């Protein structure tokens, strides 16, 4: 259902990994408040489903399927927004997965794959969008018009802030993403762009749920990656959360939403922890 307030009316948002889970909820949330969304997923089917869900409630969306780690993806993603909607106002780097192992058993392939999706891909997308934002800002200033506040939200993790056993690759990538966030906040302040990150704690998605059939795996570029958390470990993790439970994808999307609405126009270079009160 569309939000009648329409705080994001006229805005164009890029959201990676938005065919499923948290990314889908982010796309629905932004579209529901008026934004036109470029939806991305590794597979065409889930991306098309999110687009259909947005259009069914009167919103605007277009799909750009493919892996964010492909060398030409960033340019294609940004071009889709520019060609379809005329520009870019919001970027949410959300796509990702985990491939865990203790360090002595972690392969170079595991390390590289996780750094690639969680750090290199956001870097490439932000690099590709910079000329679009720069041109738009220059045009506005030359015309004597106000420069709207654009937004970047990078999805980090509490693992990147405090580390997590078995996730050296993921924690390193997310820590790097926080560093990229703070750097671009300084570089892009002159364009009136705020750059923040949201560090999720335990959120219930297909990557954390224990599958009923015990076959918890996903296909990433031809690799079968084990996902899901042992029920006992999941219960132990939830017991350490002050609110006593894992968060939902919709609640995770709400944290991102806080950083893209006008009320957060003077907040930049920050990391918002969305973890139900969990502290490091």
| DSSP secondary structure of 187-208 | HHGGGTEEEEEEEE-SB-STTT
pLDDT for the residue numbered 117: 98
pLDDT for the residue numbered 240: 92
pLDDT for the residue numbered 234: 75
- Exposure letters 177-211 (e unless 16+ CB within 10 A, then b): bbebbbebbeebeeebbbbbbbbbbbbbbebbeee
- CB under 8 Å to 227, separation ≥6 — which residues? 97, 98, 206, 207, 208, 216, 217, 218
Q: Scan for tokens 């350490």, then name that residue.
A: 240
pLDDT for the residue numbered 1: 47
Catalytic member of 85, 170, 257, 278 = 170
- Which neighbouring-strand residues pair with 138? none
pLDDT for the residue numbered 122: 99
pLDDT for the residue numbered 211: 56
> Mind listing the domains of the chain with CATH numbers?
12-201+248-274 (3.40.50.720)
- CA distance readout (Å), 207 to 96, 123, 156, 211: 10, 23, 15, 10
Establish whether 170 is a catalytic residue.
Answer: yes
pLDDT for the residue numbered 113: 98
Instruction: List the pLDDT tens digit at each of the 280 positions of the chain.
Output: 455 479 999 999 999 999 999 999 999 999 999 999 999 999 999 999 999 999 999 999 999 999 999 999 999 999 999 999 999 999 999 999 999 999 999 999 999 999 999 999 999 999 999 999 999 999 999 999 999 999 999 999 999 999 999 999 999 999 999 999 999 999 999 999 999 999 999 999 876 765 555 556 778 877 878 776 667 777 888 989 999 999 999 999 999 999 999 999 999 999 999 999 998 7
pLDDT for the residue numbered 221: 77
Burial of 173 (0-12, 13-18, 19+ CB in 10 A): buried
Task: Give the integer Cα–Cα distance in Å for 152 and 178.
Answer: 12
């Amino acid at each position: 259902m569309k939000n009648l307030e329409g705080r994001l009316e006229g805005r164009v948002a890029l959201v990676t990994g938005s065919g499923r889970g948290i990314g889908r909820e982010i796309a629905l949330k932004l579209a529901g408040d008026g934004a036109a969304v470029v939806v991305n997923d590794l597979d065409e089917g889930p991306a098309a489903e999110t687009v259909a869900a947005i259009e069914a409630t009167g919103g605007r969306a277009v799909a750009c399927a493919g892996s964010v780690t492909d060398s030409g993806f960033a340019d294609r993603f940004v071009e889709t927004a520019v060609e379809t909607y005329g520009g870019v106002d919001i970027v949410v780097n959300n796509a990702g997965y985990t491939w865990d192992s203790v360090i002595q058993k972690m392969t170079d392939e595991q390390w590289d794959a996780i750094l690639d999706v969680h750090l290199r891909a956001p870097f490439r997308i932000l690099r590709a969008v910079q000329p679009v934002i720069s041109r738009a800002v220059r045009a506005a200033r030359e015309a004597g018009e106000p420069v709207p506040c654009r937004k970047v939200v990078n999805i980090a993790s509490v693992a990147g802030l405090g580390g997590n056993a078995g996730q050296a690759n993921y924690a390193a990538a997310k820590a790097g993403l926080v560093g990229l966030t703070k750097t671009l906040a300084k570089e892009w302040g002159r364009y009136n762009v705020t750059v923040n990150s949201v560090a999720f704690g335990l959120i219930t998605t297909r990557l954390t749920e224990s599958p009923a059939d015990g076959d918890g795996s996903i296909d990433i570029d031809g690799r079968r990656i084990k996902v899901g958390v042992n029920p006992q470990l999941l219960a132990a993790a939830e017991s350490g959360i002050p609110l006593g439970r894992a968060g939902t994808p919709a609640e995770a999307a709400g944290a991102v939403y806080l950083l893209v609405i006008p009320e957060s126009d003077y907040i930049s270079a920050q990391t918002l922890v969305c973890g139900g009160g969990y502290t490091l």
